Amino acid sequence: MNPNPAMPPVHQGSSQSGRWLPPGGEARAKGFWASLRATLLTGLLIFLPVAITVWVLNLLDSPFRSMFSALADFFKEHKDFANIFRMLSFPGVGLVLGFALILLLGVLARNYLGHFLIQWVDDVAKRIPLIRTIYTGTKQLSDTVFTAAGKESFRRAVLVHFPGDSSYAIGFVTGEAKGPAQAVTDETVINVFVPTTPNPTSGFLLMLPAAKMIPLDVAVEDALKMVISGGIYVPPPKAAQNTAAPAPEPPEPVAGDASAKPAGS
């Protein structure tokens, strides 16, 4: 009992941590931290695409800047050449030169002589041990993502149990298993490639019965984007992409409308 009725009770609020809070203070504190967390997440979602874009552009631009800076230092005794290379080392020039280089390679690849030279470089790169691994993996990735032939090698996207029965992974059907693997199995098995994230050129080859696969209603390109992004990109259903809005039915003629023509006229 309060010995002095005129004095209010000392404890008006409570907290699980033992600290005193005014009435409703704990709920307001939780709401503040939830709002702060949501605000930070929103800012992160806006910042990440911009930061990654700037990082990729800088990654493409920095080799040219480094090269021209080194050339400017090499020709420092010749001020005219040094000034030209310093101008070329300005940020952004490398992107323009890179775009021009890619365009030039495309032009060369479309004629016989350029195609012969590119094929020769391809054969040489595949014979050098360390370069062969990097070059082959990068070429497979670009062929898979950017060419129609690469996309057709993945016939459809499926969901399979991997690496255990308690988890799933996205896989791509590459065809029906043939040869010794099919000869020793009692049922028809399908080749399923399960790529790794974020590099889909490496992965695991699974040979599964059709009953062990769950078809995914997404395009192969969208499923591949989901794998590369680590699940950040969520593809829309393929049915939703192909569904078109039905054409509106023509309004029925109003009785007495002069513009309405009788049937058979």
Q: Which of 4-18, 49-63, 115-129 has the lowest mean pLDDT?
A: 4-18
Task: State the pLDDT at residue 169.
Answer: 92
Predicted confidence (pLDDT) at residue 178 exceeds the cutoff of 60: yes
Q: What's this model's pTM, rounded to 2 decimal places?
A: 0.43
Between 62 and 206, name the one with better pLDDT: 206
The domain segmentation of the chain, as residue ranges, is: 34-124, 150-240
Nearest to 60 by CA among 96, 32, 35: 96
Task: State the pLDDT at residue 10.
Answer: 47
Task: Give the CA radius of gyration of the chain.
Answer: 32
Task: State the pLDDT at residue 265.
Answer: 44
Task: Report the pLDDT averaged over residues 214-231.
Answer: 87
Task: State the pLDDT at residue 63.
Answer: 82
Task: State the pLDDT at residue 23.
Answer: 59
**Confidence bin at 22 (pLDDT 50/70/90):** low
Q: Which of 2-6, 31-35, 175-179 has the lowest mean pLDDT?
A: 2-6
Taking the CA atoms of 67, 69, 75 and 80 in sequence, report the sign of the dihedral they define.
Answer: positive
Predicted confidence (pLDDT) at residue 168 exceeds the cutoff of 90: yes
Q: Report residue 264 as tokens.
A: 């058979």
Predicted confidence (pLDDT) at residue 149 exceeds the cutoff of 50: yes
Predicted confidence (pLDDT) at residue 27 exceeds the cutoff of 80: no
CA distances from 83 to 68, 69, 90, 160, 231 (A): 10, 10, 11, 59, 47
Predicted confidence (pLDDT) at residue 225 exceeds the cutoff of 50: yes
Task: State the pLDDT at residue 170.
Answer: 92
**Confidence bin at 203 (pLDDT 50/70/90):** confident
Q: Token match 């479309």: residue?
A: 110
Q: What CATH architecture applies to the domain 150-240?
A: Roll (2.30)
Q: CA torsion, points 242, 223, 234, 160, in degrees to nearest 10?
A: 110
* pLDDT tens readout for residues 101-114: 888 888 877 777 77
Residue 191 · residue 173 · CB < 8 Å: yes
Q: Which of 113-117, 159-163, 165-169, 186-190 has the lowest mean pLDDT?
A: 113-117
Mean of all residue pLDDT scores within the chain: 75
Which residues share a beta bridge with 192?
173, 206
Predicted confidence (pLDDT) at residue 259 exceeds the cutoff of 50: no
